[in-house]
């Protein structure tokens, strides 16, 4: 049924909406080819540009992807359900598992370590200095690739005096990651604070995450605190918004 509101929508938005519903209801499965421009032109009696815009909307939303010379297909990538509370529990990293194990099960994750270095002064963002209380930090910059697709960029900052001489200053932090190493030094993370916002990526960020045009990113700024309330890490994460579902459990 066409309502007054839907009639005011541009035609390409109405076509995109119909295709979106078809994908959600399983009429087009992951990896299946969507109707092409000629098909949409004939079915909806619209111009080629309108059909092209409709398909572009689905690509921008991360629901579909264009394959050169083949058409537009329903995206096969399964979104990551990021379990914000379970992944940070001591039962996770304290047992030698990665926090990612709570999110991805048996999927193929590759961690590209781009930089591990000691930085100071103007090289450290002022917000990080204010939280950690020092401009002498160790930085770990990484890109996370899941099932062959980049899904997150991450930069972690640790007080230099706290992590000097530990594997946190090396490429491989060992079983359980940086949090397990902090615990070994008597500074186990006991409390976390995450701040989340969304924006459009810069051209460089879109390139590093291989984002489709129009795809936003989610920024998560996490601070880890010891039992004494001391900030022991600041982690700035940039997520491909089309690749994630953020899940948080709370007691009522």
Q: Which domain holds residue 41?
A: 4-74
Q: Look at residue 49 and tell me if it is in a domain.
A: yes
Residues 83-116 have pLDDT tens digits of 777 777 776 666 666 777 777 777 888 999 999 9
More confident residue, 139 or 242: 139
Residue 252 lies in a domain: no
70 and 113 in a single domain? The answer is: no
pLDDT tens readout for residues 33-87: 999 999 999 999 999 999 999 999 998 777 888 888 899 999 877 778 887 777 7
Write the CA distances from 250 to 68, 86, 197, integer angstroms: 45, 11, 20
Per-residue pLDDT, 158 = 98
Place of tokens 């190493």: 181
Q: Is residue 194 included in any domain, yes or no?
A: yes
The structural domain count of the chain equals 2
| 3-7, 67-71, 120-124, 179-183: least confidently modelled range | 3-7
pTM for the structure as a whole: 0.75
- The predicted pLDDT at position 161 comes to 96
First to last CA, the chain: 40
- Cα 116 off chain centre by: 21
Q: CA of 252: how far to CAs of 15, 235, 245, 249, in Å?
A: 41, 28, 22, 10
Are 34 and 105 contained in the same domain?
A: no
Residue 179: CATH number of its domain: 3.40.1410.10
Do 140 and 89 belong to one domain? Answer: yes
Confidence of residue 7 (pLDDT cuts 50, 70, 90): low
DSSP 2-66: --HHHHHS-HHHHHHHHHHHHHHTTSS-TTPBPP-HHHHHHHHT--HHHHHHHHHHHHHTTSEEE
């Amino acid at each position: 049924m066409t309502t007054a509101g839907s009639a005011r929508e541009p035609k390409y938005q109405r076509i995109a909406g119909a295709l979106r519903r078809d994908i959600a209801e399983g009429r087009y499965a992951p990896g299946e080819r969507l109707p092409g421009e000629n098909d949409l032109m004939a079915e909806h009696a619209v111009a080629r540009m309108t059909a092209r815009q409709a398909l572009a909307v689905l690509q921008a939303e991360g629901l579909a992807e264009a394959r050169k010379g083949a058409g537009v297909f329903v995206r096969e990538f399964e979104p990551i359900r990021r379990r914000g509370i379970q992944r940070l529990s001591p039962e996770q990293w304290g047992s030698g598992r990665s926090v990612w194990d709570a999110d991805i099960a048996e999927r193929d994750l590759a961690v590209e370590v781009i930089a591990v270095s000691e930085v100071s002064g103007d090289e450290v963002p002022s917000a990080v200095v204010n939280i950690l209380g020092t401009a002498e930090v160790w930085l770990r910059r990484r890109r996370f690739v899941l099932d062959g697709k980049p899904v997150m960029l991450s930069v972690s900052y640790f007080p230099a005096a706290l992590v000097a001489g530990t594997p946190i200053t090396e490429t491989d932090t060992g079983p359980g990651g940086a949090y397990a190493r902090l615990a070994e030094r008597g500074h186990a993370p006991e409390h976390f604070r995450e701040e989340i916002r969304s924006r459009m990526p810069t051209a460089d960020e879109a390139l590093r995450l291989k984002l489709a045009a129009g795809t936003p990113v989610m920024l998560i700024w996490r601070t880890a605190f010891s039992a004494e309330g001391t900030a022991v890490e600041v982690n700035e994460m940039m997520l491909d918004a089309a690749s994630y579902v953020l899940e948080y459990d709370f007691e009522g």
